[in-house]
Structure 1
Amino acid sequence: MTATDFDDVLKGFSVFGRYHSLFLLFTFLAFASNSVYSSNYVFTAEEFKYKCADASFGDNACYSTDSENRTTHCTEWIYENPNSFVAEFQLACQDWKRTLVGTVHSFGYMVGLLVVGPLSDRLGRKLTLIITGMLGGVIGLLKSFTPWYWVYIALEFLEAAIGDNCSPMFILTIEIVSTNKRALFYVLCSFGYTFGGIMLPSAAWLVPYWRTFLRVIYSPALFFFLYLYFIDESPRWLLTKGKKDQAVAILQKAAKMNKMDIDKGTLEKLTCEETKDISFMQLLKITFSSKTLTKRCLICIVWWTTSTFVNFGMTINSVSLQGNKYINYMLISVVDIPGNFVIIYILNHYKRKLPLIATFVAGAALCLSQPFVPKSLPWLSITFYMAGKLMSSFYFNITYMYTSELFPTYTRNSMHALCSSMGRIGSIVAPQTPLLMHYWSGLPPMIFGGASLIAGLLTFLVPDTADNSLPNTVKQAEALGKSEKVRAIEGEVNLGFSKDDTGLNLDVSRERRVSRL
């Protein structure tokens, strides 16, 4: 009996069929919530003017010096907005505490990915995204009630670490469609990020008090438990866990919803590598036994660091541009709408590698040029800024997908989470970039441009993946970009590991077998 590849079955499903359309809706909402929760500190802990109650001090002045050079520090402050985050936590002359909120969120997300990624590989994509989604809502609501700054910081860390469902949602998204539809489906789902980017400033504008604002945006997250009934687990993940009946049932359900027939014989001939649970560290050992995958991992970390640093940095700094801060933030998000259609076309016609290089380099050029635009032409400066932000969104989206395609199935979510986690160094540093404007307003975009250029040059060292199915083993992952070799490996009867695959003995790595399901 000839084996049937899982990807061949998925090719029969249209991303515009009823099943995938409904899944797209729920992914859209999950990504929208991630967009809101990952950046709400921009408005929650926004900057407000303050002055010392002593009239001899100037605005935002922390101390004064008399004629005899004696320094007097202010002890009582009057805030422009007495109900602001800065005022309630008494953060006058402590800007670092205000920007620390964003940094701690990014650090929490960085740590959390190392937990959520392996958890998703162990418990499944669906259960993990439900747990993290609901925890995010609960912790977010708790933040709105705390009267203590450092408790708020601790909750900010916990929310990001165990309350963000973006990673398992993303992996689930790319695993339920075939190779040739992966880019289209993901980009359509990513409109959720844009929607969240519009809803965040809208909510902040309509609900200016930061505590009420937090309650408004986090309450809907409590409904993530409904995903237990509305979405299915990844059939690909179920197959790797040896749960054939469940995987087949999902495929049959999808076919029924799309009013299409799947040959039962085809489903009976499905083959997939079946694995037992192993630790996250063991997964890393298996993957890093390959020098090729180790190099890719390091390059992916650079991609992620650059993407998070530039994307978050430019988003945060957008509220400092001339004009209404809420509208500016919306514009930064709205520009992604036409951009997403462009990226769909690019990914479908120009694969992955060339678009990633081009967008990194173009983004670098725009960022490096922006500080030198004449100040008498603010519209041109904003245009350069928006175009640079658009490029950063392009390469962030490509990085998200590209990373997931470079590693084998059994470690895909873990490696994606690892690269994303290490790359969060960029988003940890990004909230501090507004402080650099005190030295020179052009310093942040210059740094953004330099980082983008370095990442673009490193992209030459990885293979393209657009024409290949998602790899299941280390050998298949190493062979990416060499289509004939990949097809030969995929045609082998033994799809599991050998000692040559991983450099590990079979009993050290894990027990496995190939089952004809």
Structure 2
Amino acid sequence: MAEKEESSVGVEGGKGKVDLDTILVEELGQFGWFQARTLALAAVIVIFAGVAASEFVFTTARINHRCLIPECESERPGEFAPDWILNAVPADGSSFASCERFANGSVAVTDPGSCPANIFDRDTVLDCESFVYENTYTVVYDFELACQEWLRSLIGSVHIFGTLTAMPITVMELMGPKYRVVGGATVNTFFAVGKVCAGLLAWAVPHWRQLHRAIYAPMFICIIYYWIMPESVRWYMSKGRYAESEAVLKEAARINGTELSTASLTALRESEEEAKRKKELEEIERAKEPLLIVQVFRNKQILLRCLVTPVWWVTYTFVYYGLSINAVNMSGNRYVNYVAVSAVEIPGYWTAVLLLGKIGRKPVLIIAFWLCSACQIAYIFMPEGYEGLSLAVYLIGMTCIAMVITSVYVYTTELYPTKYRHSLFAFSSMGASTWEQLPFALFGGFALLSGCLVFILPETLGAKFPDTMEEAAQIGNKKQERT
């Protein structure tokens, strides 16, 4: 039976107040087959999201290219770097130029199989008119983007801009204070697994641009599959759809092999209806209050937080995606590097989980930001020939920014009052051609600045969740009551 007539769980005679957490923990069970199934289905979605979020790193990757030399080869040359290439193309370090060639000389080619230097005017350098590509694996070949680096980079820029734009739209408070740290780390872990899968697939299948299109088909199926999952009980209850929320709870109890009491469900509905009436009264009172922006400017503590927290979010997004994208440009196997950089995110997320509740939010954020900054600076000045050490420093920096991701979600939500938390959280979550190391200088600078800014905000470990602007402003005050 999934339902019983009476229960003593938080109910006196069926008329006591019962909240959803009580039913979930004490009657339904915190983690049973129902929760495991839901988690598994959600994991599939998030893993595919990780693949979709990172595939452009490979589909838009650079391809080595050079000028087509019509005097010496056909429009479909068989070799990318023939023996004669430096006769026709200027040298560029240990290789040859990608976008320039020598002009034609006055000497005609007498041997079709050769391409001697004397047929070119080596004192005159011209831009390429057409190109030869080392491979055809990315959109650089598809759209002929050789020597148009800004167009190739624009694809990634638009992708990141879309991510930043979507953040305020998709932010939701889905978990209570007890579970949001672990829940956030779990979701981020699945996302990192998706990125690892993208790297492995790109490694195994060179023609990745064809494969990644096929991935969207099963991804669409997964989204449809997601629809068969039950809607959130909290969402149903927030909309007053109690019959549907009770149906989900009963189905969960059936799957978990537990029982729910009619008295508890009745008490839960009464409690939620009372909470809804209270919320409606609060909305009426809120309508009489000044606009949120006016309240923020009137409260110096909240205004300060609104100025500081967006810097954290911009920093973490900038550094996280920058390090992820640049992994394929490091020396060594681009796929191995990308998989390693994605995999080290996972210990970073869970390190934050272990430390946030022990040493506080501020120390974790400061240490993570500053250590990440130190890694970027060290990477800039790393001498050549130390590829292994460079990769280790790079991976430590990525682990630190993963710690920041988990920490900044938790800390930001705790700094704002309940009725304005969603709006202010959403507000909080809304740059190498001249210098090769410029990205790392920017990463390190932003991380260093963000770590410094943590000092000016209060610690929230153990503090009561604020419900009003006044309570939020008092966080960190020694007189504040601790839970």
Does TM-score exceed 0.5, indicating one fold?
A: yes
Distance 1:52 1:30, change over 3 A: same
Any residues of structure 2 matched to 1:152-301 within 5 Å, and which?
Answer: 167=170, 171=172, 175-176=174-175, 178-223=176-221, 224-233=223-232, 235=234, 237-247=235-245, 249-251=247-249, 253-254=251-252, 257-258=255-256, 259=258, 261=260, 263-264=264-265, 266-267=267-268, 268-270=270-272, 271-272=275-276, 273-274=278-279, 285-286=291-292, 289-290=295-296, 291=299, 292-301=301-310
Letter in 1 for 2:98: A
TM-superposed deviation, 1:248: 5.2
What is the number of equivalent residue pairs in this alignment?
A: 414
TM-superposed deviation, 1:405: 3.9
Match of 2:363 among 354, 357, 380: 354
Distance 1:468 1:5, change over 3 A: farther
Looking at structure 2, the residues matched to 404 and 265 of structure 1 have their Cα atoms a distance apart, in angstroms, of 32
Q: Which runs of 5+ in 1 are unaligned?
A: 118-166, 423-428, 430-434, 489-517
Q: For 1:136-161, what per-residue CA distance to the aligned partner results, in whole angstroms no more than 9, with x for missing partners?
A: xxxxxxxxxxxxxxxxxxxxxxxxxx
Contact 1:15 1:21 in 2 (8 A): no
Distance 1:356 1:19, change over 3 A: farther
TM-superposed deviation, 1:14: 6.0
Distance 1:4 1:349, change over 3 A: farther
Q: Does residue 1:91 correspond to 2:91, yes or no?
A: no
Secondary structure, counterpart of 1:78 in structure 2 = strand
Q: For structure 1, which segment, 316-325 or 14-23, has the greater mean C-alpha deviation from structure 2 after superposition?
A: 14-23
> In the alignment, which residue of structure 2 is the partner of 1:313?
322
> In the alignment, which residue of structure 2 is the partner of 1:103?
157
Q: Does residue 1:439 correspond to 2:448, yes or no?
A: no
Looking at structure 1, the residues matched to 442 and 139 of structure 2 have their Cα atoms a distance apart, in angstroms, of 29
Distance 1:182 1:381, change over 3 A: same
Distance 1:324 1:15, change over 3 A: farther
TM-superposed deviation, 1:455: 0.6
> In the alignment, which residue of structure 2 is the partner of 1:17?
32
TM-superposed deviation, 1:241: 4.2
Coordinate RMSD, CA, aligned: 3.6
Q: For structure 1, which segment, 58-67 or 298-307, has the greater mean C-alpha deviation from structure 2 after superposition?
A: 58-67
Any residues of structure 2 matched to 1:373-452 within 5 Å, and which?
Answer: 373-408=382-417, 412-420=421-429, 422=430, 429=431, 435-436=432-433, 439-440=435-436, 442-452=437-447
Letter in 2 for 1:78: V
TM-superposed deviation, 1:445: 2.4
Contact 1:25 1:189 in 2 (8 A): no
Q: For 1:6-34, what per-residue CA distance to the aligned partner results, in whole angstroms no more than 9, with x for missing partners?
A: 66666657653334333322332232223
Letter in 1 for 2:295: S
Looking at structure 1, the residues matched to 255 and 478 of structure 2 have their Cα atoms a distance apart, in angstroms, of 34
Looking at structure 1, the residues matched to 254 and 455 of structure 2 have their Cα atoms a distance apart, in angstroms, of 44
Secondary structure, counterpart of 1:373 in structure 2 = coil
Match of 1:53 among 47, 65, 68: 68
Query: Percent same amino acid among aligned pairs?
Result: 29
Q: For 1:441-479, what per-residue CA distance to the aligned partner results, in whole angstroms no more than 9, with x for missing partners?
A: x43323212211111111223344454576565555555
Letter in 2 for 1:439: W
Looking at structure 2, the residues matched to 183 and 446 of structure 1 have their Cα atoms a distance apart, in angstroms, of 30
Q: For 1:412-466, what per-residue CA distance to the aligned partner results, in whole angstroms no more than 9, with x for missing partners?
A: 444444332x2xxxxxx3xxxxx35x634x4332321221111111122334445
Q: Does residue 1:343 correspond to 2:349, yes or no?
A: no
Contact 1:319 1:328 in 2 (8 A): yes
Looking at structure 1, the residues matched to 229 and 157 of structure 2 have their Cα atoms a distance apart, in angstroms, of 34
Q: Which runs of 5+ in 2 are unaligned?
A: 1-14, 70-84, 91-95, 104-120
TM-superposed deviation, 1:221: 2.2
TM-superposed deviation, 1:89: 0.4
TM-superposed deviation, 1:41: 1.1
TM-superposed deviation, 1:96: 1.0
Looking at structure 1, the residues matched to 16 and 29 of structure 2 have their Cα atoms a distance apart, in angstroms, of 25
Distance 1:413 1:196, change over 3 A: farther
Contact 1:287 1:474 in 2 (8 A): no
Contact 2:67 2:101 in 1 (8 A): no
Letter in 2 for 1:90: E
Letter in 2 for 1:233: S
Contact 1:303 1:399 in 2 (8 A): yes
Contact 1:240 1:274 in 2 (8 A): no
Letter in 2 for 1:104: V
Contact 1:468 1:483 in 2 (8 A): no
TM-superposed deviation, 1:86: 0.7
Q: Does residue 1:31 correspond to 2:30, yes or no?
A: no
Q: Greater Rg, structure 1 or structure 2?
A: 2
Looking at structure 1, the residues matched to 102 and 405 of structure 2 have their Cα atoms a distance apart, in angstroms, of 48
TM-superposed deviation, 1:302: 0.7
Contact 1:318 1:329 in 2 (8 A): yes
Distance 1:369 1:82, change over 3 A: closer
Distance 1:362 1:286, change over 3 A: same
Q: For structure 1, which segment, 49-58 or 4-13, has the greater mean C-alpha deviation from structure 2 after superposition?
A: 4-13
Looking at structure 2, the residues matched to 274 and 402 of structure 1 have their Cα atoms a distance apart, in angstroms, of 25
Looking at structure 2, the residues matched to 252 and 465 of structure 1 have their Cα atoms a distance apart, in angstroms, of 37
Distance 1:475 1:36, change over 3 A: farther
> In the alignment, which residue of structure 2 is the partner of 1:160?
none
Looking at structure 1, the residues matched to 316 and 54 of structure 2 have their Cα atoms a distance apart, in angstroms, of 15
Q: For 1:209-268, what per-residue CA distance to the aligned partner results, in whole angstroms no more than 9, with x for missing partners?
A: 243122232222212122222142250x44444445545554555455442656346523
TM-superposed deviation, 1:82: 3.5
Contact 2:64 2:98 in 1 (8 A): no
Distance 1:478 1:69, change over 3 A: same
Distance 1:311 1:113, change over 3 A: closer
Larger relative helix fraction? 1
Q: For 1:68-112, what per-residue CA distance to the aligned partner results, in whole angstroms no more than 9, with x for missing partners?
A: 976532211111114531111011110111111110111123334
Distance 1:298 1:487, change over 3 A: same
Secondary structure, counterpart of 2:31 in structure 1 = coil
Letter in 1 for 2:59: T
